[in-house]
């Protein structure tokens, strides 16, 4: 489980532990992971930077059989229109959301094939399937992640590894919008203002748990999940 220190990643680590999995929670921020691991005996913490080949290789070397890999690390940076966007932000989003999936998937594939059969889950986004103004850097990266998932399923056909994308819309987590809006808490709060029941990290953990707990011959390709109040990235009912 990458990106496990907060939000969807932490919720999914907890949920999969409750489903009986031994969960390796991996992320950059070790303190947060240690807290998570201390609160749930079936979770262990590993420091991981998905943008570092060495860090990913270290993770792979520490694992034996792996039943499920959840590629969850990623996120958005900035809401500028293309005419003002910073290429460095785009590069970073591509590095985490796309190359990160590539690196960790490559490194863990042998371990996923060693056991009874593996499952690769990618936390995508509706941004991987639609575009919206101010979102091009993120939508380009998430479209990239979707392309990786779809290609991987073709390339692994005939091998015992399932491939699933879970693509959430508006999920109210502590950090997603805060990071995207560069630490501006007021702007981050505005994203969810007046929205009745945005999704929670637990809602997405529930979808991931559903996909991975189907029988081994059942491959859920894609789950697109939005709150009832959201019909499109830019079409959100607010009171």
> 118, 137, 198, 233: which one contacts ligand 8X3 (CB under 6 A)?
233
> 37, 59, 69, 126: which one contacts ligand 8X3 (CB under 6 A)?
126
- Minimum distance from CB of 112 to ligand 8X3 (Å)? 25
Q: Do the beta carbons of residue 69 and residue 119 sit within 8 Å? A: yes
SS3 letters across 163-189 = EEEEEECCECCCCHHHHHCCCCHHHHH
Q: How far is CA 125 from CA 37, 64, 66, 143, 223, in A?
A: 27, 30, 24, 9, 10
Strands (E), the chain: 23-27, 43-47, 68-71, 118-123, 161-168, 222-225, 230-232, 235-236
166 binds ligand 8X3 (CB under 6 A): no
3 binds ligand 8X3 (CB under 6 A): no
Q: Which residue bears the tokens 């390796």?
A: 24
- Minimum distance from CB of 164 to ligand 8X3 (Å)? 16
Starting at the edge strand found earlier in the chain, the sheet holding 222-225 runs: 68-71, 118-123, 161-168, 222-225
- Minimum distance from CB of 224 to ligand 8X3 (Å)? 11
> 127, 166, 188, 220: which one contacts ligand 8X3 (CB under 6 A)?
127
- Minimum distance from CB of 235 to ligand 8X3 (Å)? 10
208 binds ligand 8X3 (CB under 6 A): no
7 binds ligand 8X3 (CB under 6 A): no
Size of the site for ligand 8X3 (CB under 6 A): 8
Q: Tell me how far apart the alpha carbons of residues 111 and 132 are, in angstroms, rounded to a whole number.
A: 38
146 binds ligand 8X3 (CB under 6 A): no
169 binds ligand 8X3 (CB under 6 A): yes
138 given a catalytic annotation:
yes
Catalytic machinery residues: 138
């Amino acid at each position: 489980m990458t990106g496990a220190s907060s939000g969807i990643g932490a919720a999914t680590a907890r949920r999969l532990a409750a489903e009986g999995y031994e969960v390796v929670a991996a992320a950059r921020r070790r303190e947060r992971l240690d807290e998570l691991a201390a609160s749930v005996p079936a979770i262990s913490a590993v420091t991981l930077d998905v943008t570092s080949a060495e860090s990913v290789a270290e993770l792979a070397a520490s694992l034996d059989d792996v039943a499920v890999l959840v590629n969850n690390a990623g996120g958005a940076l900035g809401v500028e229109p293309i005419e003002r966007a910073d290429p460095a932000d785009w590069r970073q989003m591509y590095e985490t959301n796309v190359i990160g999936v590539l690196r960790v998937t490559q490194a863990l594939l042998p371990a996923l094939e060693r056991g009874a059969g593996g499952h690769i889950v990618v936390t995508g986004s509706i941004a991987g399937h639609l575009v919206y103004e101010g979102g091009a850097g993120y939508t380009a990266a998430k479209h990239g992640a979707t392309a990786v998932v779809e290609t991987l399923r073709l390339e692994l056909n005939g091998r015992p590894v399932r491939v699933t994308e879970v693509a959430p819309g508006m999920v109210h987590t502590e950090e997603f919008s805060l990071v995207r809006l560069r630490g501006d808490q007021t702007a981050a709060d505005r994203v969810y203002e007046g929205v009745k029941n945005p999704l929670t990290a637990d809602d997405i953990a529930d979808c991931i748990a559903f996909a991975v707990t189907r029988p081994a011959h059942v491959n859920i390709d894609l789950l697109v999940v939005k709150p009832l109040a959201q019909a499109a990235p830019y079409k959100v009912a607010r009171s």
